[in-house]
């Protein structure tokens, strides 16, 4: 194996923050915000620019898969790097809890207060599933959690997938122990997720619930396991080779995605089963290579994702993700007013979307600095006592 040099490769694993990965998270957020805030009916009038953006935002759903790959990469890296910690499970679950739960449950409490205070109703059976991160496990479509038209919690299925992964994967990593076995486990996870979708299609389950292929946890673990696989590769002897060729491999993967998109448009994820069955693993590979490219020092990807605006969106992505859909719903109800005043469909979409975007990011900033930080400070109580799996140890592991 050729030796890496500091000018070519980022020598970071545990114990060091990687700024570019904040930017990757920021891109994932912006994709999702574009999808939800710029929605429109398919009848679009105007210049080619209007048509371009009306179609381009429909690709935003892939931002969730980018979130998944990044989460799988970071979480598996943390788990592997702290395997020798005497309080392995306590520290991991405690740190996840103080990061995820306070804002999530505070927001859900606020929703209940606002909904009931405004005279609307709560479907408590659905709400209980949201509270327990199991809303995505129902075989049949659940009723909306509330009849308030300005509340939308549909995107919480992705948080449920991640939390269920966080619950089980640490136990498997602890049992598998070695880098090689964890990598094999991750590959098996990708294949099992693909097999699950194939079986769902074979038995026609998508006709019972069209969201099963996308939101049911067993059918959408490709990204999380692909990120886990990447975490093991960059801690092993193939790290230097992967990062050196990551840009080339990323271009090849992107070309494959483009050809796939031409045959099976990724803008129509529910138009057929092919996009969800085969498009998800293909996107997961591309996003894993994108992250690998962002780890390479002085690469175009690293410079872009380390750019302060991208890092800004990544830093406040969790709060923005939690808040944005309900804010978007509220602002979207003002579209008829804007249309009547401007007689422009473009403005009736863009002005409420702009307001929703600004309000979302302001609230995310306030939430992080005035609320979430108080709980994040508690993470310091759950530091690993030992972490033997440093980069250089991993590189020379037999």
What residue segments make up the domains of the chain, in order of their start? 19-328+356-395
Q: Which residue has the higher pLDDT, 179 or 17?
A: 179
pLDDT for 47: 67
Confidence check: pLDDT of 281 > 50:
yes
Mean pLDDT of 282-299: 97
Half-sphere exposure (Cβ direction) of 27: Cα atoms closer than 13 Å: 21
pLDDT for 391: 37
Question: In whole angstroms, what is the distance from residue 149 CA to residue 322 CA?
Answer: 17
Confidence check: pLDDT of 17 > 90:
no
Mean pLDDT of 290-311: 96
Burial class, 143, CB count within 10 angstroms (exposed 0-12 / middle 13-18 / buried 19+): exposed
Give the least confident one: 92-96, 341-345, 391-395: 391-395
Mean pLDDT of 113-137: 97
Question: In whole angstroms, what is the distance from residue 165 CA to residue 31 CA?
Answer: 23
Confidence check: pLDDT of 363 > 90:
yes
Confidence check: pLDDT of 354 > 90:
yes
Confidence check: pLDDT of 140 > 50:
yes
- Confidence grade of residue 393 (pLDDT, cut at 50, 70, 90): very low
3-state secondary structure of 284: helix
Question: In whole angstroms, what is the distance from residue 333 CA to residue 326 CA?
Answer: 11
Radius of gyration of the chain (CA): 21
Cβ(224)–Cβ(69) under 8 Å?
A: yes
Strands, E assignment, 51-183:
none
pLDDT for 43: 65
Q: What is the pTM of this model?
A: 0.92
pLDDT for 118: 97
pLDDT, mean over the chain: 91
Question: In whole angstroms, what is the distance from residue 240 CA to residue 85 CA?
Answer: 27
Mean pLDDT of 317-323: 98
156-170: pLDDT as tens digits: 999 999 999 999 999
35-69: pLDDT as tens digits: 999 987 766 666 667 777 778 899 999 999 999 99
218-258: pLDDT as tens digits: 999 999 999 999 999 999 999 999 999 999 999 999 999 99
Token couple for 248: 């080339």
């Amino acid at each position: 194996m050729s030796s890496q040099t500091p000018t070519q490769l980022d020598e970071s694993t545990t114990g060091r923050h990687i700024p570019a990965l904040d930017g990757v998270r920021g891109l994932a957020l912006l994709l999702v915000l574009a999808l939800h805030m710029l929605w429109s009916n398919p009848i679009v009038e105007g210049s080619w620019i209007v048509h371009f953006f009306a179609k381009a935002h429909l690709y935003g759903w892939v931002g969730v898969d980018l979130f998944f790959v990044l989460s799988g990469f970071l979480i598996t890296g943390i788990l592997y790097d702290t395997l020798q910690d005497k309080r392995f499970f306590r520290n991991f679950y405690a740190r996840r809890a103080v990061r995820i739960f306070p804002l999530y449950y505070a927001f859900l409490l606020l929703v209940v207060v606002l909904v009931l205070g405004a005279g609307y109703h709560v479907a408590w059976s659905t709400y209980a599933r949201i509270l327990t991160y199991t809303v995505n496990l129902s075989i049949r479509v659940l009723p909306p959690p509330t009849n308030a038209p300005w509340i939308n919690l549909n995107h919480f299925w992705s948080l449920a997938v991640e939390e269920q992964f966080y619950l089980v994967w640490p136990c498997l990593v602890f049992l598998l122990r070695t880098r090689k076995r964890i990598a094999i486990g991750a590959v098996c996870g990708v294949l099992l997720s693909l097999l699950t979708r194939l079986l769902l299609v074979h038995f026609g389950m998508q006709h019972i619930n069209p969201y099963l292929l996308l939101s049911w946890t067993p059918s959408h673990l490709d990204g999380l396991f692909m990120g886990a696989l990447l975490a093991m590769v960059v801690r092993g002897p193939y790290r230097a080779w992967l990062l050196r060729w990551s840009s080339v491999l990323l271009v090849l993967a992107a070309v494959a995605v483009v050809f796939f998109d031409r045959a099976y448009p990724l803008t129509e994820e529910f138009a057929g089963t092919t996009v969800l069955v085969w498009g998800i693993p293909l996107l997961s590979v591309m996003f894993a290579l994108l992250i690998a490219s962002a780890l390479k020092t002085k690469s175009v990807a690293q410079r872009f994702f380390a750019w302060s605006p991208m890092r800004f969106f990544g830093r406040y992505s969790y709060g923005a993700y939690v808040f944005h859909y309900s804010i978007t719903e509220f602002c979207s109800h003002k579209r008829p007013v804007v249309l009547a005043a401007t007689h422009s469909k473009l403005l009736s979409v863009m002005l409420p979307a702009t307001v929703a975007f600004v309000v979302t990011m302001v609230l995310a900033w306030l939430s992080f600095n005035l609320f979430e930080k108080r709980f994040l400070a508690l993470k310091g109580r759950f530091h690993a006592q030992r972490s033997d799996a440093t980069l250089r140890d991993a590189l020379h592991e037999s």
